[in-house]
Amino acid sequence: MEFNTPQAIRKIKLSPQSKILIDGKNQCKLQAMSFALKYHKVDVTETLGELTVKGIVPVGG
């Protein structure tokens, strides 16, 4: 599901899943939250036993 950054961070923080995948790599919650800060829109998908985080709209610099 697509979220803006604050909503995505909240979703990651409150997720009961311990396995979090970012670009196919297993990461901890803190790494996932810092990854979300690099994007305006983030896709956070909760499946059986894992949470998948993907950036959609990057922060322009």
Summarize pLDDT for 5-55 with one digit per residue, the tens.
999 999 999 999 989 999 889 999 999 999 999 999 999 999 988 999 999
In the DSSP assignment, the letter for residue 4 is: E
Q: Residue 56 corresponds to which amino acid?
A: I
Please say whether the beta carbons of 11 and 44 come within 8 A: yes
H helix or E strand, kind and range, residue 20: strand 20-22
**pTM of the predicted protein model:** 0.89
Model pLDDT, residue 60: 86
| Coil vs helix vs strand at 12 | helix
Q: How confident is the model at residue 61 (pLDDT cuts 50, 70, 90)?
A: low
Q: What is the model's pLDDT at position 23? A: 87
Contact (CB, 8 A) for 40 and 53: no
